Amino acid sequence: MARWRRTLYETIFEAETRAGKTFDVLLLVAIVLSVLVVILESVNSLDARFAVQFDAVEWAFTLLFTIEYALRIVSVDRPLRYIFSFFGIVDLLSILPMYLAAIFGHGHEVMVIRSLRLLRMFRLFGMGRMLSEGSALARAVLASRDKIVVFLSVVLIAVVIVGAAIYAIEGEDSGFTSIPEAMYWAVVTMTTVGYGDIAPETWFGKFLASVMMVLGYSLIVVPTGIVTTEVVRAHGVSTRTCSGCLKVGHDADALHCKFCGGKLSEPGTG
């Protein structure tokens, strides 16, 4: 990697360097301000008075984020990996609506997606521990996927059975006009939301609803227990990003990426 690209990469991606922290702090300020403008623009009275100013500020932020997006692509070894990464897609979505609005009209409301870019705060201010905990949780969910699928299958089966049963018991007179409508009621009841738009009227229907509510409360703890058993806490994880594969979660003293073997920047440099 050329020296200027390495410097650019460390500034844009390395939150542990001084230049990287400064860049990310300024970027977060710009993101917050751009989201604030979108929020204020949704107020009709303000939009009527400051529509021109809002558009000018929106275009200024869009051009700023466009330049930043281009610099990110230029600075990495594998541009396509960044483009199709989570943050790469979010970065693209943060600038795309304004250009689409200029061509097709409307679309300003979608620009609130810029708020997703605030997730970058986890790479700032020494928040590596939170980043590692998030990675540990993601690994736990992935490791529990078979158990979670079984759990969701049981819930789905219960919804179908109870939905069909309540449809047969209550019928259209109580608002259960079809089995899908009854299944909607079963989902609402099991999750203990209880909108009240549909409710059983017979004693047996009310008994079945009570069973669903109790079952719903019982099932709340199941996903938590499944994931908790798989959680493995990681220690000493750095927030440095590999320039090759753009993955994080390396050991604090690591010199090479444990995912692709690429060379990492020196800890605490910059």
Cα separation of 268 and 270, whole Å?
Answer: 7
Q: Are 168 and 160 in contact (CB under 8 A)?
A: no
In tens, the pLDDT along 61-93 reads 889 989 999 999 998 888 898 899 877 887 887
Ramachandran angles phi, psi of 251, nearest 5°: -65, 150
- In the predicted model, residues of the chain with pLDDT beneath 50 are 232-236, 270
In tens, the pLDDT along 165-177 reads 999 999 888 889 8
Percent of the chain with pLDDT strictly greater than 90: 11
**Residue 252 pLDDT:** 65
Cα separation of 193 and 102, whole Å?
Answer: 41
**Residue 113 pLDDT:** 63
Q: Are 166 and 190 in contact (CB under 8 A)?
A: no
Ramachandran angles phi, psi of 237, nearest 5°: -95, 135
Cα separation of 148 and 266, whole Å?
Answer: 40
Mean pLDDT, the chain, rounded, equals 78
In tens, the pLDDT along 203-231 reads 998 999 898 888 888 877 777 776 666 65
**Residue 22 pLDDT:** 85
